[in-house]
């Protein structure tokens, strides 16, 4: 067990990190999914009492991975912000501070369903916005599993916020996870104020659970059945 796991996806070597990001050493790229920055601000605006600091905590997690890996590029696989109301002064200040500290970082946002509601981002932020399906060599970038297209060798995506049950009885825990089904690798949501969706792995799937310190591959018996297409993720 380790804080990271290197996995060879048919010649594409990726590093799964316990902080919920994927590093591609050959390209110097860090991928994260579903930060939902400012979600707590949106909840407070609707008079729902929630703690502050979710966005700052998520940015610290990303910064930690950038520092540890030396990544030159950050790719966000959709849902950068939760809603337009998420762009509160506190959140904007946190984002400004992040980009000032990482002033040489190249940043790309793959459009997610929540990003359609945001409109334009501050012009000073060094973010290129691309549509799902954009490719870097053999690797495709998406947000939802439904962005997968025939012929893609491997697509990274978010949207699902995958998690699995681990353990039994009173010791049972639900842990966020990386989830591979055929040519799709789903990333866990990196946002500190996001929920999870419990998945049901099938034969041929691979799952790596994440804790605060470790990435652990889950090995379990899976019942008989046909492995569905990569875009069938329910």
Kindly report the pTM of this predicted structure.
0.86
Nearest to 165 by CA among 209, 114, 104, 109: 209
The tens digit of pLDDT for each residue in 86-99 reads 667 778 888 899 99
Question: For residues 17 and 37, what is the distance between their CA atoms, to the nearest angstrom?
Answer: 20
Q: Cα separation of 80 and 212, whole Å?
A: 22
Task: State both tokens at 74.
Answer: 């950050």
Per-residue model confidence as pLDDT tens digits over 149-169: 998 999 999 999 999 998 877
In the numeric block, the tokens 């439904």 are attached to 146
Whether residue 227 contacts residue 205, with contact meaning beta carbons closer than 8 Å, is answered with yes
pLDDT at residue 223 is higher than 50: no
| pLDDT at residue 1, as a whole number | 47
Closest CA to 31 of 172, 168, 165, 134: 134
pLDDT band for position 125 (50/70/90)?
confident
Tell me the three state secondary structure of residue 95. Answer: helix
Q: How does pLDDT run across 168-220, given as a tens digit for each residue?
A: 777 888 899 999 999 999 999 998 767 788 999 999 999 999 999 999 998 76
Domain extent listing, the chain = 4-218
Residues 171 and 112: their CA atoms lie apart, in Å, by 35
Which candidate, 83, 92, 85, places its Cα nearest to that of 112? Answer: 83
Architecture of domain 4-218: 4-Layer Sandwich (3.60)
């Amino acid at each position: 067990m380790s804080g990271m796991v290197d996995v060879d996806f048919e010649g594409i070597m990726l590093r799964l990190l316990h902080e919920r990001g994927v590093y591609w050493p050959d390209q110097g790229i860090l991928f994260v999914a579903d930060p939902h920055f400012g979600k707590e601000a949106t909840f407070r605006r609707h008079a729902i009492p929630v703690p502050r600091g979710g966005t700052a905590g998520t940015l610290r997690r990303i910064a930690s991975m950038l520092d540890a890996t030396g990544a030159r590029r950050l790719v966000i696989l959709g849902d950068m912000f939760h809603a337009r109301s998420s762009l509160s002064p506190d959140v904007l200040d946190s984002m400004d501070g992040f980009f000032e500290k990482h002033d040489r970082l190249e940043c790309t946002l793959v459009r997610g369903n929540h990003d359609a509601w945001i409109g334009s981002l501050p012009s000073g932020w060094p973010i290129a916005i691309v549509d799902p399906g954009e490719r870097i060599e053999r690797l495709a970038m998406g947000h939802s599993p439904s962005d997968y297209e025939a012929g893609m060798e491997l697509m990274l995506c978010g949207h699902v916020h995958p998690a699995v049950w681990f353990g039994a009885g009173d010791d049972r825990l639900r842990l966020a996870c990386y989830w591979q089904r055929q040519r799709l690798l789903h990333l866990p949501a990196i946002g500190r104020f996001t929920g999870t969706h419990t998945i049901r792995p099938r034969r041929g799937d691979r799952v790596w659970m994440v804790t605060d310190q470790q990435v652990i591959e889950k090995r379990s018996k899976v019942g008989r059945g046909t492995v569905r297409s990569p875009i069938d993720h329910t």
